[in-house]
């Protein structure tokens, strides 16, 4: 298999996992017209803590991968995800599917991947931690796959300049648009007031942006009339290029079923990484 396939697939998977950052929230509609922007954002973020699953659409641009489009369904407990993604700047090689199920990630690239894998169209990586050497060789993908993607939706609460932009329709829903900036240092400073589990989750999410070389986020958040985050946009100046991603939430808290691809169509990624390290 050529190295370009490994780099492209792994990079796209990392992008997809980082981009699965927002979460729709849930709660009763009791927003007061006098509620400040900071309070409204905090309320929507607080409601995100009860999320169990979601379906979302993602568009944007990420470093190294370029323009991306995706739609995904995911469950937080137990962790599971099915995502169809298109890296638009990579031509025919940019289309792929990502599945996360039973502590394993499957990367499917269809015909383009099959040409590089002797007819097999899926690569598998074990995320259970059983093979630390292979995990190190695969870079950031395993650690990203274990993230709680709802954490990014809380980040605007750390902004000191959050403001109301106005009211807009998003995917047919009336929303209030809020905007602000926040640095990773400011977000970390707010973690001291959180419980241990919350701190650990948010630290992992913050590290995603550190790994991209970003230290400040510009965020837009569209909140619906029921205090649910309908859409989130995150922008950052990363070391290897601009990060600009919008996630629109389509559904939430519905049952999620993800099946592993047939074993006959799958190549074990951990074994492949060992071969690359040794070779």
CATH of the domain at 226: 2.50.20.20
Tell which residue, 71, 16, 54, 75, has the closest CA to residue 228: 54
Placement of tokens 């510009």 in the chain: 218
Has this prediction a pTM greater than 0.75?
A: yes
Of all residues in the chain, what percent carry a pLDDT higher than 70? 77
The mean pLDDT value for 87-116 works out to 83
Q: What does the block give as tokens for 273? A: 């990484």
Which residues are registered as beta bridge partners of 100? 81, 105
Which pLDDT belongs to residue 91?
80
Domain count, the chain: 1
Structure tokens at 242: 């601009």
**Cα-based distances in Å from 176 to 44, 168, 212, 223, 240:** 11, 6, 30, 5, 33
Q: Which domain holds residue 95?
A: 3-278
pLDDT band at 150 (very low <50, low <70, confident <90, very high): low
Please write the tens of the pLDDT for every residue from 38-82: 999 999 988 887 888 888 899 999 888 899 999 999 888 888 999
């Amino acid at each position: 298999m050529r190295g370009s396939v490994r780099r492209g697939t792994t990079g796209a998977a990392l992008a997809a996992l980082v981009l699965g950052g927002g979460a729709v929230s849930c709660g009763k509609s009791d927003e007061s017209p006098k509620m400040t922007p900071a309070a409204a954002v905090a309320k929507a973020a607080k409601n995100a803590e009860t999320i169990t699953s979601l379906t979302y659409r993602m568009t944007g641009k990420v470093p190294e991968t370029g323009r991306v489009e995706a739609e995904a369904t995911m469950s937080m407990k137990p962790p599971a995800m099915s995502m169809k993604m298109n890296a638009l700047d990579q031509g025919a090689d940019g289309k792929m599917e990502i599945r996360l199920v039973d502590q394993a990630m499957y990367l499917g690239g269809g015909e383009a991947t099959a040409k590089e894998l002797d007819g097999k169209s899926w690569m598998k990586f074990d995320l259970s931690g059983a093979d630390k050497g292979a995990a190190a060789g695969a870079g950031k993908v395993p650690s990203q796959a274990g993230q709680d993607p709802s954490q990014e939706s809380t980040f605007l609460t750390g902004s000191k300049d959050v403001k109301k932009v106005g009211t807009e329709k998003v995917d047919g829903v009336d929303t209030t648009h809020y905007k602000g900036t926040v640095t990773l240092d400011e977000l970390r400073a707010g973690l001291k007031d959180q419980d241990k589990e919350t701190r650990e989750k948010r630290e992992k999410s913050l590290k995603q942006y550190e790994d991209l070389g970003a230290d400040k986020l510009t965020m837009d958040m569209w909140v619906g009339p029921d205090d649910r985050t309908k859409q989130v946009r995150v922008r950052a100046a990363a070391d290897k290029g601009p990060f600009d991603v919008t996630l629109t939430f389509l559904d939430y808290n519905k049952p999620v079923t993800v099946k592993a691809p047939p074993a006959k169509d799958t190549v074990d990624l951990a074994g492949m990484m060992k071969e690359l390290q040794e070779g």
